[in-house]
Structure 1
């Protein structure tokens, strides 16, 4: 499984709107993508305009090709993109170690 981490910075004062938009986009677009395995969204405390979106994908290609090169990506960006203060920084990670559940 691959972890996508998106560091998102939104325009000041739009947190409530973005909170609703990102949850809508995750529920209606991303959660239906091939290879989607789950997500978490964290809001910044010290930096209230900063969000960390983590999405688990079955394979790297499920995100980089299957989702990003599909019409669904444009739908996702239409929902969340208007709030961005700058383009998100996105990276992918493999699991090295974890605590016991």
Structure 2
């Protein structure tokens, strides 16, 4: 299992609209992608324009190749991209340990 962590900064004052858009983008573009296993979205309290999107993929290639090179990626960016203040920072992680 691979964790994709996207640190997203949006334009000030657009939080309510982005809250809807990011969930729509996941439902319409990401959730049906090959290897997609789930997601979590965290909203910033101290920095309300900051969101942390965590997406779980079966393999790294499911994100970097299967999704990123698909038409669904363009749909995703079309839905959420207009809100970005800067391009998101995206990194991938593998699980070392977890609690029960």
TM-score by length of 2: 0.99
Are 1:28 and 2:28 counterparts?
A: yes
Q: Report how many aligned residue pairs link the two structures.
A: 100
Listed as ranges, the gaps of 5+ residues in structure 1 are: none
Matched residue, 1:49: 49
- Partners of 2:77 and 2:38 in 1: how far apart? 19
What is the alpha-carbon distance in structure 2 between the residues aligned to residue 28 and residue 37 of structure 1? 15
Are 1:38 and 2:60 an aligned pair?
no
Q: Distance in 2 between matches of 1:26 and 1:67?
A: 12
- TM-score, normalised relative to structure 1: 0.98
Deviation at 1:28, TM superposition (A): 1.1
Measured against aligned partners, the alpha-carbon deviations of 1:10-39 in whole angstroms (never above 9, x if no partner) come to 000000000000000111110000000000
Q: Which residue of 2 aligns with 1:88?
A: 88
